[in-house]
């Protein structure tokens, strides 16, 4: 039996949804994580300061008695976003970041940005006040192959935006390629990247060989094994630019197991066990605390959590539920396809 104690982790990219789904999934995150950056892609999206405040109140109200959890709110960048409203929301502590979705890139991104010149004034204001831009880094051009959309986005959109807006603080979300690892490693300026649990554990073979596995389908889509290896190397490197954002994104099973299934992997419940598994395989358990608990707060200018959690490794496999039941319907939990031996002690 081995144990590992870490500062309590945070999740720097999380979808909690709303209503019955929010009530069902929030405890799964709050059990292990102290804070999370909450994605604003509701229907309709969280676009104004007042929307973020109201959503935060709904999250607080959904938290079961006896649990503590701090949602770090974001606003959804649209071509009509008001720089003054963003500044007020940030300076009054309502939000911690702004999310950029290229229009059409992923779930509920229709209100996202088409013409990046239209958001230039907002981005300039954000750079001035130190408000972080979280980026869904994929182009939506139908001519670009879905497996190339992240790499092309870096060249055509992200790098030009960063050059045009010096000082802009950027989080490249859920990176999936060695191209993104290289860009984040080598480029100057304030930039970090979140890496999901599932992108460390699966590649496109897991999703497609021997049958199509809808619960492995997410965006950005999992890439070939060499990219997965690059992500694993970055995650265990101890480079503080790479930290955890699970992108845990619940959809009910009927919306995943269908002819045109939604993108999103739900991993909140077993993420810490999965990460311990990955870091152990990489011989880097000593790097897990940096990745899950220290580098994210540093990137966002926050203190790490004071409390700790302890993970325990058993020789026997630890059972995790196949699904969690929510008032919106059952949600399948990420299954890495092999036994897990770690659990978080209560
Ligand atoms: C996310 C969702 O379902 O909201 N889906 C996903 O596959 N990651 C949206 C996103 O982060 O792209
Ligand atoms: Zn996401």
Using one digit for the tens of pLDDT, what is the confidence trace for 53-103?
Answer: 999 999 999 999 999 999 999 999 999 999 999 999 999 999 999 999 999
Is 297 close to ligand 1, i.e. is its CB under 6 Å away?
A: no
Peptide bond into 60 cis (omega under 30): no
Predicted pLDDT at 233: 98
CA of 222 to the centre of ligand 1 (A): 13
Counting from 1 in the atom list of ligand 1, the atom nearest the Cα of 173 is 11
With 0-12 CB in 10 A as exposed, 13-18 as middle and 19+ as buried, what is 5? exposed
Peptide bond into 27 cis (omega under 30): no
Q: For residue range 146-172, what is the model confidence (pLDDT) as tens digits?
A: 999 999 999 999 999 999 999 999 999
Whole-prediction pTM: 0.98
Is 139 close to ligand 1, i.e. is its CB under 6 Å away?
A: no
CA of 340 to the centre of ligand 1 (A): 25
Give the residue whose CA is nearest to atom 11 of ligand 1: 247
Q: Percentage of the chain surpassing pLDDT 70?
A: 100
Whole-angstrom distance between the N-terminal and C-terminal Cα of the chain?
Answer: 16
Q: For residue range 18-65, what is the model confidence (pLDDT) as tens digits?
A: 999 999 999 999 999 999 999 999 999 999 999 999 999 999 999 999
Q: Is the pLDDT of residue 107 over 90?
A: no
- For residue 121, the tally of other CB atoms under 10 A from its CB is 12
Q: Choose among 336, 346, 6, 41: nearest CA to 197.
A: 336
Is 223 close to ligand 1, i.e. is its CB under 6 Å away?
A: no
- Mean pLDDT throughout 230-259? 98
Counting from 1 in the atom list of ligand 1, the atom nearest the Cα of 262 is 3
From 36, 101, 264, 268, mutation site for ligand 1 pocket: most ligand atoms within 8 A of C-beta: 264
Query: For the chain, which residues make up each domain, given as ranges?
Result: 3-344
Q: Is the pLDDT of residue 113 over 80?
A: yes
Predicted pLDDT at 1: 64
The average confidence (pLDDT) of the chain is 97
- Mean pLDDT throughout 185-212? 98
**Lowest-confidence region among 1-5, 176-180, 203-207:** 1-5
- Mean pLDDT throughout 171-181? 98
Question: What's the chain's Rg over C-alpha atoms?
Answer: 19
Could you please state the CATH topology (level 3) that the domain comprising 3-344 is classified under: TIM Barrel (3.20.20)
Is 45 close to ligand 1, i.e. is its CB under 6 Å away?
A: no
CA of 249 to the centre of ligand 2 (A): 6
How sure is the predictor about 106, in pLDDT bands with cuts at 50, 70 and 90?
confident
Positions marked catalytic: 247
- How far is residue 249's CA from residue 200's CA, in Å, rounded to a whole number? 16
Counting from 1 in the atom list of ligand 1, the atom nearest the Cα of 105 is 12
CA of 119 to the centre of ligand 2 (A): 21
Query: From the CA of 105, which ligand is nearest?
Result: 1
Rounded to 5 degrees, what angle do the CA atoms 318, 261, 18 make? 75
Is 313 close to ligand 1, i.e. is its CB under 6 Å away?
A: no
How sure is the predictor about 346, in pLDDT bands with cuts at 50, 70 and 90?
confident
Is 106 close to ligand 1, i.e. is its CB under 6 Å away?
A: yes
CB 320 within 8 A of CB 313: no
Q: For residue range 122-151, what is the model confidence (pLDDT) as tens digits?
A: 999 999 999 999 999 999 999 999 999 999
Q: Is the pLDDT of residue 115 over 80?
A: yes
- How far is residue 131's CA from residue 304's CA, in Å, rounded to a whole number? 19
CA of 140 to the centre of ligand 1 (A): 15
């Amino acid at each position: 039996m081995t144990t590992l104690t870490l500062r309590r982790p945070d999740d720097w990219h999380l979808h909690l949804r709303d209503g019955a789904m929010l009530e069902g999934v929030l405890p799964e995150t709050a059990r292990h994580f102290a804070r999370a950056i909450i994605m604003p892609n509701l229907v309709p999206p969280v676009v104004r300061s007042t929307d973020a405040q109201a959503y935060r109140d709904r999250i607080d109200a959904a938290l079961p008695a006896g649990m503590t959890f701090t949602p770090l709110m974001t606003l959804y960048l649209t071509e009509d976003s008001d720089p003054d409203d963003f500044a007020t929301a940030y300076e009054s502590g309502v939000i911690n970041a702004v999310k950029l979705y290229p229009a059409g890139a992923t779930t509920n991104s229709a209100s996202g940005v088409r013409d990046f010149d239209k958001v230039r004034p907002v981005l300039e204001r954000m750079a001035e006040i130190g408000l972080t831009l979280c980026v869904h880094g994929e182009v939506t051009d139908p001519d670009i192959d879905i497996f190339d959309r992240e790499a092309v986005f870096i060249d055509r959109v992200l790098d030009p935006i960063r050059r045009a807006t010096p000082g802009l603080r950027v989080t490249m979300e859920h990176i999936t390629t060695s191209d993104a690892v290289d860009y984040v490693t080598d480029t100057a300026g304030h930039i970090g990247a979140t890496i999901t649990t599932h992108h460390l554990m699966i590649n496109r073979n897991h999703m497609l060989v021997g049958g199509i596995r809808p619960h492995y389908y997410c965006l950005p889509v999992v890439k070939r094994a060499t990219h997965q290896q690059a992500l694993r190397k970055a995650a265990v490197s101890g480079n503080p630019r790479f930290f955890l954002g699970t992108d845990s994104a619940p959809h009910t099973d009927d919306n995943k197991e269908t002819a045109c299934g939604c993108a999103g992997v739900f991993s909140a419940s077993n993420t810490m066990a999965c990460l311990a598994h990955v870091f152990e395989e990489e011989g880097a358990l000593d790097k897990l605390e940096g990745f899950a608990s220290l580098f994210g707060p540093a990137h966002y200018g926050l203190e790490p959590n004071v409390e700790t959690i302890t993970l325990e490794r058993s020789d026997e496999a630890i059972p995790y539920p196949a699904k969690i039941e929510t008032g919106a319907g059952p949600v399948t939990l990420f299954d890495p396809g092999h036994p897990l031996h770690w659990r978080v002690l209560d």
